[in-house]
Structure 1
């Protein structure tokens, strides 16, 4: 296998490294992109940035709010209990592949159970294969418009890791929580017979913990096909409410699109039961950065201000039963946000 080509955060240039060196970077908290297969990602980014879309005022309250009432905490609990039962979801491991296969099966079951026949015909479920064992998953709800080819993406990363990949990594919060938050929003949208005007996609990325590998590969594919991605929203860690702090949604303000971030704030104000707080990662800290690198507008919401986020991640203690600071009701707020993002940007002309 070729050595990875790695871009270190805040340091210019590309370095050739072994997989072990890359793991050592992770263990020492050094942030990076692995650009082995995506060195040319973003070659036309300047054209997309120059022709950015504009975002409307949220105005579909009558469509969104009834769906929010159907979101269920029990679905989050049951899904996360299974998702964290794998020893690790590390993207190069057998259990990482098994967890991905379970997630794919769960998405298929939800689609079969909740999507009415007419909606089911608009949905495709696709495994996006990589050079490693764990695939990314892409679910597409085709839009009805014959003139608007815009695509709206809601994403999370499905893999987990310990600081040393051979150790157990339940990954309940990072990013089991985000994965289940958007899965529940997908279920509720299907149950409401959501048939968008624009195409809406749900993505579960492989190998985020390996340097945003999965999302970079997907973004490169979309870029090569000139897919018109209007907006991408990432959900990475949605469960933690630090004891003694106010419950809130962390709106990341660096390495994101400012206009789409402003729109996301409006969604929180209108549809969630908790406020937002502006916060910064300080680096390109999740899969939204892959889309931003390609010039597509992207945003990122997290469970809290960055300094109040879960400190148990990348360890055996990233479990949902480790502390009462892990909150399923908090996860549900992010499911609400994903529903609102899909309906407000995807559009929906209900016939009934």
Structure 2
């Protein structure tokens, strides 16, 4: 007991000594709940399952700072029925699970993809080079690849932009986060992050490959701009996507839809395989359209589920006034419990299930890429 008491006193002394010298971060943990904590306390919150936006650089929307109100997400009209089934089906039949396995094996071979680490920067470099190779045949007047520098940490976000032919100002975004984390000791321990979120990243890479090969190469070009985003630092409090969408809001961009793919590979019960449609903190009309895509193109059903506040990068979109949606591997209670550890490995995942998520992405970008009746 005496040893335990001394240990507690020692910890209190260390905390009291270190906190005054540690920069404070502003976290929003609920719609009307804000706290300031040291950087090290963020990790403790994550370990306890607390989700948050780290809004230290973006406090203008907080009631706490009384500068301006958070923008309202507009209501758009999405297609009531599909109109490009032949084109989408033609792309879907060429999904290559072998290619997905190869990319995910490489992506998880980095010791960690922690956004502050050298490994996290190296994994971003590999991802950017692979994306450049996938899209090399897209005409340069149509394609741009942006490395979005976040200044405060090494790992950059990647934005792949296919400019629309008639209404380039209307933007459709497919998102995933590229970073991983080991919540025990993120700067020291391995974080393969196969499911979280290597799976979502590779799901979107495969959709981008098919979009390039089976759509753009055939002479098609979307009416609206289609973007693939690979965000840095989601595990640090949606830091990367907050930077991106805050910049988009300041530039007054017209994002018509954003779909997030985060954790797409784990199947807890093969006899009950399904995808999860997140219904809280998402945009209802867009979510209904995603359900139409699933019913039209997938071989498995969906279930409604909830993920909570600041759950993934779609939250950064809606926070900045853009419609956001999120599809996860299953209803939340059946998602992968091995994430944020050394056990989040490729052998636990289903490439066939990831392929179902790729179908969603293809359906969304092809159907919405030509839509105009907003």
* TM-score, normalised by the number of residues in structure 1: 0.92
Pick the aligned partner of 2:180 from 160, 173, 177. 160
Q: Computing the radius of gyration over CA atoms, which structure comes out larger, 1 or 2?
A: 2
SS at match of 1:14: strand
Supply the distance in 2 between the matched residues of 1:246 and 1:101 (Cα, whole angstroms). 38
- 8 Å contact 2:175–2:259 — kept in the other structure? yes
Supply the distance in 2 between the matched residues of 1:68 and 1:78 (Cα, whole angstroms). 19
Supply the distance in 2 between the matched residues of 1:98 and 1:44 (Cα, whole angstroms). 38
SS at match of 1:4: strand
Gaps of 5+ in 2: 1-21, 63-67
Q: Indicate yes or no: 2:158 matched with 1:137.
A: yes
Match of 2:88 in 1: 64
Matched length: 338
Please list, as runs of the form range in 1=range in 2, the aligned pairs for 1:1-352 lying within 5 A after superposition. 2-9=23-30, 12-40=32-60, 43=68, 45-46=70-71, 48-49=72-73, 51-56=74-79, 57-112=81-136, 115-116=137-138, 119-130=139-150, 131-145=152-166, 147=167, 149-163=169-183, 164-165=185-186, 166-194=188-216, 195-243=221-269, 245-321=271-347, 323=348, 326-347=349-370
- 1:45/1:295 CA distance change after superposition, 3 Å: farther
* TM-score, normalised by the number of residues in structure 2: 0.87
Cα shift at 1:167: 1.5
- 8 Å contact 1:44–1:294 — kept in the other structure? no
- 1:245/1:304 CA distance change after superposition, 3 Å: farther
Q: After the TM superposition, which of the residue ranges 23-32 and 332-341 deviates more from structure 2?
A: 23-32
SS at match of 2:78: coil
CA-based RMSD of the aligned residues comes to 1.8
- 8 Å contact 1:127–1:137 — kept in the other structure? yes
- 8 Å contact 1:111–1:120 — kept in the other structure? no
Supply the distance in 1 between the matched residues of 2:200 and 2:127 (Cα, whole angstroms). 13
Post-superposition, which runs of at least 4 consecutive aligned residues in structure 1 deviate over 3 A? Answer: 41-46
Supply the distance in 2 between the matched residues of 1:316 and 1:69 (Cα, whole angstroms). 34
- 8 Å contact 2:144–2:161 — kept in the other structure? yes
Cα shift at 1:106: 0.4
Gaps of 5+ in 1: none
Supply the distance in 1 between the matched residues of 2:146 and 2:168 (Cα, whole angstroms). 22
- 1:41/1:99 CA distance change after superposition, 3 Å: farther
- 1:328/1:261 CA distance change after superposition, 3 Å: same
Cα shift at 1:246: 1.0
SS at match of 1:330: helix
